[in-house]
Amino acid sequence: MSRAKLDPRSMEDWQIAAASEAHMKTVYQLGEEMGVEQRELLPYGHFVAKLDFIRILERLKDRPRGKYVEVTAITPTPLGEGKSTSTMGLVQGLGRLGKRAMGTIRQPSGGPTFNIKGSAAGGGLSQCVPLSEFSLGLTGDIDSINNAHNLSMVALTSRLQHESNYGDKTLSEKKLRRLNIDPRNLATGWTIDFSAQALREIIVGIGSKMDGFMLRSGFQITVSSEVMSILAVATSLRDLRERMGRIVVAFDKSGKPITTQDLEVDGAMTALMYRAINPNLMQTLEGQPVLVHAGPFANISIGQSSIVADLLGLKLSDYLVTESGFGADIGFEKFWNLKCRMSGLAPNCSVIVATVRALKMHGGGPSVVPGKPLDPVYTQSRPDLVEKGVSNLFAHVETVKKSLVHPVICLNHFPGDSMEEIAVVRSAAQAMGVPISISTHWADGGDGARELAEMVIDACSRPSKFRMLYEDDLSIKDKISRIASEVYGAAGVSYTAHAENRLASLQADEGLNRLGVCMVKTHLSLSHDPSLKGRPRDWVLPVRDVLVYHGAGLIVPVAGDIKLMPGTASDPAFRRIDVDVDTGKVTGLF
């Protein structure tokens, strides 16, 4: 089937992706078009490869960087608003205008892929392909992260067992020093890349003393691991290796941190990760290159594709389009104050994706529940709800403007959007002084994103400054307060006694005080409460815990009731995923 005959209104995303496979470029074609030498290309089959970023960056060190475009969004419904679709559409739109464009996106987690949200490859005629490889493990990076993280837990729990079973003389003979690990004060647990709520709280070591040290533990989803954050922020293999040794896995009985270096497992963890640091090369449906690398969520982690992929993409393209997780309150904020601070890069433009559907929800529309049919209000023309909901769009535009980055609004057009509803959004954008494109890339691919691409090119051509929300030497509490008030719109911040104690110990360490703040917060509201839509006022952000990711270089305040292990819903996507045994093709992915 030719691309011209593909109709997203009558086909599922996986059907479009499968029908497009005959038109995909091989990685050798992509590499040649990008200017990548054959020895720098590390193929995983015909249509996926890793890129040897060290060789490429060294060879292209004198080449100027392209324009840097970030894609964010308004506060989404639980169904998502097509940010990945818009990213792919924009790359394709830039390609239609003759620009050498490239995308950088995150690898999907098995949690959402087999649960509700899907694989985040885009949709309609704006996707990253091949879809099956993208969605089902790719080149094994997440497996490497999972293994590296769990190896640190093997090292920790085995040391606990040996220290409890053997005397100091025996430990000395084995060249092990006593670490005096406090089994009631572990810093992390185990990881698995599924939404497995039954594993949040577990007891390990049940049995005899030969079956391990019995203690309370639990699992978190792999993409929330500090190892994943390290992959996202590391700038070289040396940097990755050094960060691995700084991961804190537990505390001793005097409260001193115990690291992977103390357990002498950091080298082996890096060995499990040495291939994963190379970005993965894929493509859009229209044949532009896409680098897929790292996969942290933005509500519980840094929410960005890797710095390495961006550094590479900016050398290989005229326009690099990178996507941040969820809305601008968490995705763009972390791109702005964490990723750009660590990479030294400054964006030329930020695209804020909005939908009429989400604006209706923020204007008082009924709840949007995954797995259940949309309320009829979302298929009817209700410009009154859209008008009330644009307050949420205003908030995200103001956040981007505070960085002094030029914003562009992309209204991701759904077939049922009425002209009256679109007119309300246009009017709101005009009032904000921000260009807006009603983009039809889902239905029309690159052709539907031409106007959006033209607006992005114009924004990138204008001179801009870039400033951080806070300076490095601001106190941790002041950083949290600034994010809460200036980005979320909170009236203040409250802390549990536990969080206050954690902060007091952190403030005493000047080195820790200079780390970036990576908030853990719901993505379904500007506030900590997912039920508060629109632009909530006069609320207080409750911080219940403060974690420290020494290796990633992050202070992680946890706000509200949010967990590092999501749960699987009653109607998960895995019910519809299968394999056609005659063709060997995977079906049912979205």
> Do 170 and 254 share a domain, yes or no?
yes
Alpha helices in 383-418 (DSSP H): 383-402
Judge whether 82 and 123 are in contact, CB under 8 Å: yes
Sign of the dihedral through C-alpha 61, 62, 66, 71: positive
Cα–chain center distance at 238? 23
Sign of the dihedral through C-alpha 255, 259, 265, 269: positive
Give residue 2's pLDDT: 45
State the CATH number of the domain containing residue 453. Answer: 3.40.50.300
Give residue 445's pLDDT: 96
In the listed set 239, 266, 293, which residue is the last one of a domain according to the structure? 266
∠ Cα 392 397 400 (to 5°): 130
In the listed set 220, 245, 266, which residue is the last one of a domain according to the structure? 266
Q: Fill in the DSSP letter of residue 304.
A: B
> Do 393 and 480 share a domain, yes or no?
no
Task: Flag whether 386 is in a domain.
Answer: yes
The enclosing H or E element of 51 equals strand 49-51
State the CATH number of the domain containing residue 500. Answer: 3.10.410.10
Query: Distance between CA atoms of 113 and 223, rounded to whole angstroms?
Result: 13
Q: Which two tokens stand for residue 573?
A: 């996507």
Task: Flag whether 4 is in a domain.
Answer: no
pLDDT tens track, the chain, 590 positions = 345 568 888 888 888 988 888 889 999 999 999 999 999 999 999 999 999 999 999 999 999 999 999 999 999 999 889 999 999 999 999 999 999 999 999 999 998 899 987 778 899 999 999 999 999 999 999 999 999 999 999 999 999 999 888 777 777 887 888 899 999 999 999 999 999 999 999 999 999 888 999 999 999 999 999 999 999 999 999 999 999 999 999 999 999 999 999 999 999 999 999 999 999 999 999 999 999 999 988 898 999 999 999 999 999 999 999 999 999 999 999 999 999 999 999 999 999 999 999 999 999 999 998 878 899 999 999 999 999 999 999 999 999 999 999 999 999 999 899 999 999 999 999 999 999 999 999 999 999 999 999 999 999 999 988 999 999 989 999 999 999 999 999 999 999 999 999 898 887 777 787 889 999 999 999 999 999 999 999 999 999 999 999 999 999 999 988 888 989 988 888 989 999 899 888 998 88
The enclosing H or E element of 541 equals strand 540-549
Query: Distance between CA atoms of 386 and 223, rounded to whole angstroms?
Result: 34
Q: How many other CB atoms sit within 10 Å of the CB of residue 118? A: 21
pTM of the model: 0.94
Task: Flag whether 271 is in a domain.
Answer: no
Cis peptide before 130 (omega within 30 of 0): yes
What contacts 205, CB < 8 A, 6 or more positions away? 157, 161, 211, 212, 213, 214, 215
DSSP3 helix / strand / coil % (the chain, rounded to 5) = 40, 20, 40
Q: Which two tokens stand for residue 420?
A: 């009256």
Cα–chain center distance at 202? 27
CA-wise closest residue to 133 among 320, 281, 288, 1: 281
Task: Flag whether 574 is in a domain.
Answer: no
Q: How many other CB atoms sit within 10 Å of the CB of residue 479? A: 22
Task: Flag whether 379 is in a domain.
Answer: yes
Domain range for 552 is 476-559
Task: Flag whether 564 is in a domain.
Answer: no
Query: Distance between CA atoms of 493 and 25, rounded to whole angstroms?
Result: 51
> Do 114 and 180 share a domain, yes or no?
no
Our count of domains for the chain comes to 3
Task: Flag whether 526 is in a domain.
Answer: yes
φ, ψ dihedrals at 259, nearest 5°: -105, 170
> Do 445 and 514 share a domain, yes or no?
no
Q: Which two tokens stand for residue 365?
A: 């529309």
Give residue 4's pLDDT: 54
Tokens 């219940």, located at residue: 544
SS3 call for 97: coil
Q: Fill in the DSSP letter of residue 230.
A: H
| Positions marked active-site | 83, 85, 106, 117, 298, 326, 414, 442
Torsion of CA 555, 556, 557, 563, to 10 degrees: -170
Query: Distance between CA atoms of 367 and 373, rounded to whole angstroms?
Result: 11
φ, ψ dihedrals at 101, nearest 5°: -115, 155
> Do 429 and 322 share a domain, yes or no?
yes
Residue 30 is which amino acid? L
> Do 156 and 136 share a domain, yes or no?
no
Query: Distance between CA atoms of 191 and 141, rounded to whole angstroms?
Result: 14
CA-wise closest residue to 351 among 449, 422, 465, 487: 449
> Do 413 and 373 share a domain, yes or no?
yes
Judge whether 263 and 187 are in contact, CB under 8 Å: no
State the CATH number of the domain containing residue 190. Answer: 3.30.1510.10
Q: Which two tokens stand for residue 164?
A: 């409890």
Give residue 317's pLDDT: 98
Judge whether 80 and 299 are in contact, CB under 8 Å: no
Give residue 330's pLDDT: 96
In the listed set 208, 235, 266, which residue is the last one of a domain according to the structure? 266
Is 58 exposed, middle or buried, given 0-12, 13-18 or 19+ CB atoms closer than 10 A? Answer: exposed
Query: Distance between CA atoms of 290 and 30, rounded to whole angstroms?
Result: 10
> Do 150 and 218 share a domain, yes or no?
yes
> Do 363 and 443 share a domain, yes or no?
yes
Query: Distance between CA atoms of 214 and 93, rounded to whole angstroms?
Result: 57
Rounded alpha-carbon distances, angstroms, from residue 169 to 114, 176, 178, 406 = 50, 10, 10, 65
> Do 105 and 192 share a domain, yes or no?
no
φ, ψ dihedrals at 235, nearest 5°: -110, -5
> Do 220 and 188 share a domain, yes or no?
yes
Q: Fill in the DSSP letter of residue 200.
A: S
Strand order in the sheet with 492-495: 492-495, 540-549, 554-559, 516-517
SS3 call for 36: coil
> Do 119 and 155 share a domain, yes or no?
no
Task: Flag whether 525 is in a domain.
Answer: yes
